[in-house]
């Protein structure tokens, strides 16, 4: 593969463009609006500066990386000669079906068509003339830093295409996990649904503050899971203990259809998170780029420690 096309320059799109450009690929980044592309450019520049400050990249590498990214509002121009096109549009069946239909029509026959969908089974409703070249590559924000990528094969996806994509990802330092068939949310997002339900329940009922809840996760759950993951953690705790805990039902169950009051109230007020300057936390006038830059710096420092110490993975 030499050229990658990213369809959509929003939350995930600009990060994917950066990932592949850093990996040495020519990248076209498509959005229907120039304003979105300008925002994407600013975020990419800010992210690259952060990587230089963190020692991940040398300053001399920045311009070559940026030169490998071409932004355009023309989808036909974006997909010309692309080896793979990845769509990152809104999580909506109609929108994704329209995008795939258009991509199938205008992309060269060689182009692989990938979706970044989290919850939709695109193989059920997307119709193309190249089902052997359709797959899912599901990334996690910020994709230019987080190594995990879910790679999902469809019922007709050619195994050679799966291997090719996995190979590209590994060459860029990513950690792909392969799903033999689609499941809504894959692994991490399914876990996060249950996780977030409990977060909202604890906050809504004033058991503790957002700050203390985050401290509990960072210094307890996250620290352990960085070393032993989720499944091996059960081994260390004892499978018999897990069985007894389930039988005792020691915790009060949060309803599966729980409606998070504080979340809905904040959204109604326009407090939609970092992009709005306020969510559960008040970012006190700091720009989105500034806050994201600090987050990314911390993630890069942590990732460097994990890689150098070689401590992530099963203890076997």
pLDDT, tens only, 50-66: 999 999 999 999 999 99
Rounded CA separation 78/229 (Å): 39
> Final residue of a domain: which of 121, 146, 179?
179
pTM of the model: 0.86
Cβ(11)–Cβ(93) below 8 Å = no
Verify that 173 and 49 share a domain, yes or no. yes
- Domain's final residue, options 179, 195, 223: 179
Question: Cβ distance 56 to 142 under 8 Å?
Answer: no
* Average pLDDT over the chain, rounded to an integer: 94
Residue 316 within any structural domain of the chain: no
Count the helices and strands in the chain (H runs, E runs).
Answer: 14, 8
Instruction: At 195, list the tokens.
Output: 């996780």
What are the residues facing 248 on neighbouring strands?
Answer: none
- For range 108-127, the mean pLDDT: 97
Same domain, 168 and 23: yes
Cα gap 193→249, rounded to integer Å: 20
Residue 250 scores a pLDDT above 60: no
Predicted confidence band of residue 288 (pLDDT cuts 50, 70, 90): confident
Average confidence (pLDDT) over 141-152? 96
* Token duo for residue 36: 């979105």
Cα 231 from Cα 236, distance rounded (Å)? 9
Domain that holds residue 209: 187-260
What order do you get walking across the sheet with 175-179 strand by strand?
69-72, 26-30, 3-7, 84-87, 112-115, 134-139, 148-153, 175-179
């Amino acid at each position: 593969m030499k050229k990658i096309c990213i369809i959509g320059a929003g939350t995930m799109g600009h990060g994917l463009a950066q990932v592949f450009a850093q990996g040495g690929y020519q990248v076209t980044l498509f959005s229907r609006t120039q304003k979105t592309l300008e925002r994407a450019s600013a975020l990419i520049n800010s992210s690259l500066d952060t990587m230089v400050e963190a020692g991940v990249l040398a300053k001399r590498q920045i311009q070559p990386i940026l030169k490998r990214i071409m932004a355009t509002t023309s989808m036909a121009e974006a997909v010309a000669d692309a080896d793979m096109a990845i769509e990152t549009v809104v999580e909506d069946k109609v929108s994704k079906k329209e995008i795939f239909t258009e991509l199938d029509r205008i992309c060269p026959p060689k182009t692989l068509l990938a979706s970044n969908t989290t919850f939709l089974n695109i193989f059920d409703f997307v119709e193309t003339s190249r089902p052997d070249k359709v797959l899912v590559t599901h990334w996690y924000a910020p994709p230019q830093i987080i190594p995990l990528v879910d790679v999902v094969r469809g019922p007709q996806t050619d195994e050679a295409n799966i291997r090719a994509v996995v190979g590209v990802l590994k060459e860029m330092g990513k950690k792909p996990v392969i799903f033999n068939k689609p499941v809504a949310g894959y692994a991490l997002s399914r876990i996060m649904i249950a996780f977030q339900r409990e977060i909202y329940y604890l906050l809504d009922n004033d058991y503790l503050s957002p700050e203390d809840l985050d401290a509990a996760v960072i210094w307890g759950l996250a620290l352990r899971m960085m070393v032993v993951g989720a499944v091996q953690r059960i081994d260390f705790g004892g499978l018999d203990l897990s069985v007894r805990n389930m039988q005792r039902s020691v915790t009060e169950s949060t309803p599966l259809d729980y409606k998070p009051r504080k979340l809905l109230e904040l959204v109604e007020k326009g407090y939609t998170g970092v992009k709005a300057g306020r969510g559960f936390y008040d970012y006190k006038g700091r720009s989105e780029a500034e806050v994201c830059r600090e987050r990314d710096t911390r993630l890069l420092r942590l990732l460097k420690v994990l890689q150098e110490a070689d401590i992530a993975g099963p203890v076997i």
